Amino acid sequence: MALETAVTETAIEQNIEQFLLVLSVSLSVATLSRVFSWFRRIPFTLLLVIFGLVLAFIDVRLVSLSPELILEIFLPPLLFEAAWNLNWRDLKRDLVPVGFFAIIGVIISVVGIAYGLNFFTGIPLAIAFLVGASLSATDPISVVALLKELGASKRLRTLMEGESLFNDGVAVVAFTLLVGIPLGTVDKFSISDSLFTFLSFVGIGIGVGCLVGFGISYLTQRFDLPLVEQSLTLVSAYGTYIIVEKLGGSGVIGVVTVGLILGNFGSRIGMNPRTRLIVSEFWEFVAFFVNSIVFLLIGDQIQYSTLADNIVLIAVVIGAVLVTRAISVYSLSALSNLVVKSNIGLKEQTLLWWGGLRGSVSIALVLSVPVVLPGRDQITAVVFGVVLFTLLVQGLTTQSMLKVLGLIGDQPLRQEYMETTARRVALKRVLNYVSELVRLQEIDPEYYRYQAEFLQKELKQLQEKIDKMQAEHSQLVALDMKLLREELVDIEAETYAEFIRAGKLKSNISPLLAEVFEEKEEQES
């Protein structure tokens, strides 16, 4: 008994040491990518993959990457953070094309990759379908971060993030339905049975996600405790995933649902602006933290000898992935443009095609293939090879693609404008504070006069700069209006929350200004 306890304690100690090693290496590399200008040219997630490849080349293995580690520990916070920051109004406008990409696009990918692999290599169709299902989910984390940094259109980011959030769930469901065929646990594939299973998975995920999301939204109206509200969002991410999976649903869909509700509804009615900022910054750090570990481990898990042995298969599947992605993006965009007038341009479609990277979900799915399945090592090598290609080749060339397509936006201009506006607001507050000190006779009037003249001179220069920028770039006026609208909605929502916390209101009142502004924006667009 004592020996078993000692062995267990040793194993725990080794696991903790491994985790701390991975954490130290990943955060060090991720931090370097933000500190040094040369490294900032490469998205930090891709830099981590490259560093992991270097470790794999010298045969330094940090830790074994299991599917449970990704699906149960890493995936929920990544999905929640993306859903929390995804604006529902923007998503609603493009819900049809996102739905097409996430559902029909996954089917096209699975079928196209499977039949292409079967035709060119002779691999059994049942095995080929597993490869297709593993590679059907997109993971454009690096691309979306790059789009945001370079100021590409918000709509393009919404399309990519929306598709990625929902096709993760669809891909997991498709993989679950198909994995039993080569194992012999499923006699034959039935479209009706599969459709019923799919609807059950999705329905349970959405149902539980709504219950948890709206429940926590109304709960946070009763108090104003930032750390508690922050903790509730973390519990909701992991709790929803676990509950939905136990009930036989799609935990991915559940987490996405609860993230969308809390980010777009709960944070508005139940959190004051300060708390919402604290929670958003917390989730930004969590996403940075988790991505730092996941992408380092993806690179570190590569087996170069196995990749070399299956290079032909990998090349075939890469071609199939690119072709099926092109078919789904261009055809479904055209269908969406025809049906609901989505107006997704050819340039945007091209970037959606090239930016459809594969990542953590694909790795987790292929690692979950049972060991008893013949050819499992070959399947794993193919999927790892394709993921590596999309991350390094497509990921590192996305910035060049953006420049060629002319999709780089005006983010530097907007940042300069916001900095100038912030300086003006700050100096006005300083001037008001100094004036109050004079009124209270706490400073010398002569000193005030000197400071006031200096501040007014600086304010005049800032105002002239703002006026000039607005005259040259009319979109900056709209940015001012948007910021003002958000501030007004925050004030209204916080007022309702105060009444509820004081017991003067028993039920929630939805913000009126949010609806009015949303209708106005829809009319203007």
Amino acid identity at 449: R
Q: Would you say 364 and 70 are in contact if contact means Cβ atoms under 8 Å apart?
A: yes
Residue 49 tokens read as 């993959």
Kindly calculate the radius of gyration of the chain based on its CA atoms and give it in whole angstroms: 26
* b/e code 102-124 from CB counts within 10 Å (16+ = b): bbebbebbbebbbbbbbeeeebe
CA dist., res. 136 & res. 313, Å (int): 17
* Predicted confidence pLDDT, tens digits, the chain (525 residues): 555 555 566 656 666 666 677 777 777 776 776 666 666 667 777 777 888 888 788 776 666 667 667 778 888 998 899 899 888 888 888 999 999 999 999 999 999 999 999 999 888 888 899 899 999 988 877 677 767 766 677 888 889 888 988 888 888 888 888 877 776 666 566 667 777 888 888 899 999 999 999 999 988 888 878 888 899 999 999 999 999 999 988 888 999 999 999 998 888 887 877 788 889 989 988 888 888 788 877 887 788 888 888 999 999 999 999 999 999 999 999 999 999 988 999 999 999 999 888 888 888 888 888 877 888 888 888 999 999 999 889 988 888 888 888 877 666 677 777 788 888 888 888 888 878 777 777 677 777 777 788 888 888 888 888 888 888 777 667 666 777 777 777 777 777 777 777 776 666 566 666 665 565 655 555
> DSSP label at 264?
I
Indicate the pTM of the whole model: 0.77
* b/e code 451-470 from CB counts within 10 Å (16+ = b): beeebeeebeebeebbeebe
Amino acid identity at 507: S
Q: Which residue spans within 242-343 are E strands per DSSP?
A: none
Amino acid identity at 261: I
The number of beta carbons lying within 10 Å of the beta carbon of residue 60 is 12
CA dist., res. 497 & res. 519, Å (int): 24
End-to-end CA distance of the chain: 71
* b/e code 288-326 from CB counts within 10 Å (16+ = b): bbbbbbbbbbbbbbbeeeeeeebeebbebbbebbbebbb
Q: Which residue spans within 316-448 are E strands per DSSP?
A: none
CA dist., res. 26 & res. 48, Å (int): 7
Distance (Å) of CA 525 to CA 31, 284, 355: 40, 30, 27
The number of beta carbons lying within 10 Å of the beta carbon of residue 176 is 16
The number of beta carbons lying within 10 Å of the beta carbon of residue 247 is 15
- Sequence-distant (≥ 6) Cβ neighbours of residue 464 within 8 angstroms: none
